[in-house]
Structure 1
Amino acid sequence: MIYSIDVRIEAPVRDTEVTDRVADAIRNVFPDAEPIHEDGRLVAEGHTLDAFSDVLHEQEILDTARRVFLQNSTDEGFDFSLKKQAAFEGVVNFAVGEPDELGEVNVEVRIREPDVEAFIDYVAPETDEGRPVDPVREYGDRVDPEDIDY
């Protein structure tokens, strides 16, 4: 799939935190991001969610991710937040409910191509019994779900 997106990732850095550990939390989930320190927070920008999508597949949380993305979507894109401590461990754990006292990793995705729903289908495809219904491999090649080792 060919797409054009902008991803903005922000995470506050509290006085009690080590900036490098917060940067590691961002990089562990978004390895293409290069966070910079800016007014008490780290900010990173990118143009892909491929590695993040891989983590969603590995953790088998496509349905949860899809639900979060769709609930927080507009015509321009979608937003979501992740728990900072889980991200430090390289785990995606969506932040819902009361904000964490250390803050969260906030992600804003703006999509130019394709439309928002098609991009969500790419990052977190629909599943049947936990397996992607129509998985997409690199370069957009369609594969038979039975041929995928989970």
Structure 2
Amino acid sequence: MAKVTIDARVNRTEDPAKVEEAVRQVFPDARISHEEGRVVAEARSLAMLMRKATEERIRDAARGALWRGRIDEKTTRVELSKQAAYVGRLNFNEVPHPLGDIVVTIETDDSLEHLLDEVAPPTRQEIAAREGRIMTATRRSSLHREESELEAIGSAIDTGWHELEEEEDEVFGDDEEA
């Protein structure tokens, strides 16, 4: 089970109800309270976060953001765009937004890696990459070029070998004639 703590600054130009709605879009089960210039909340479920990451096809990005935000073996922190969350979208901010973000801290009883596998299961592409089955286009191109070069070298060696045999036959005579 995970404990999710949510904290979003409410700027003077923002409507606290809209910031609360942004939090609810991602954490509908959150217990929300308003503090001085902030919307704070606690949640137990990451189901909506997981669903949105899957629907938006950003599971790898979600996994990456959660992994990069790790504080220790059982805790991670990510920052979500308030504007994106308000319209029901996920946007993991790598750099804090000047107007503030929704700061989400997740603590798990289990390992963070196990939590990541539950929240944002690895995609087939990520699994294949882990197993070394995916080659980038650059690597494939490089291998193809190396293969062509090796074929050219092999052909040159064969040609040189045949020429050497012909010269040897001229100097020493053909073994088949003897």
| TM-score exceeds 0.5 | yes
Runs of 4 or more consecutive aligned structure 1 residues displaced over 6 Å after TM superposition = none
Aligned-partner Cα distance in 2 for 1:61–1:5: 21
Structure number with higher strand proportion: 1
- Name whichever of 85-94 and 64-73 sits farther off: 64-73
1:115, distance to aligned residue in structure 2 (A) = 1.6
The DSSP-based 3-state class of the residue aligned with 1:102 is coil
Aligned-partner Cα distance in 2 for 1:19–1:90: 17
Aligned-partner Cα distance in 2 for 1:76–1:118: 10
In structure 2, the partner of 1:22 is 19
In structure 2, the partner of 1:143 is none
**Equivalent of residue 107 in structure 1, options 93, 104, 107:** 104
Q: State the one-letter code of the partner of 1:65.
A: A
Q: What is the percent sequence identity of the aligned residues? A: 36
The DSSP-based 3-state class of the residue aligned with 1:78 is strand
In structure 2, the partner of 1:92 is 90
Structure number with greater CO (CA < 8 Å, separation at least 6) is 1
Aligned-partner Cα distance in 2 for 1:49–1:14: 26
Structure number with higher helix proportion: 2
Native 8 Å contact 2:30 2:44 kept in 1: no
1:1-57 CA deviation, whole Å, 9 max, x = no partner? xxx211000100011111100000000111111321112100000111011101111
How big is the alpha-carbon RMSD for the aligned residues of Structure 1 and Structure 2? 1.5
Aligned-partner Cα distance in 1 for 2:126–2:22: 27
Runs of 5+ in structure 2 lacking a partner? 128-178
1:105-148 CA deviation, whole Å, 9 max, x = no partner? 00000001x321011111011112489xxxxxxxxxxxxxxxxx
TM score, norm. by length of structure 1: 0.79
TM score, norm. by length of structure 2: 0.67
Runs of 5+ in structure 1 lacking a partner? 132-150
**2:80 is the counterpart of 1:82:** yes
Aligned-partner Cα distance in 1 for 2:3–2:126: 28
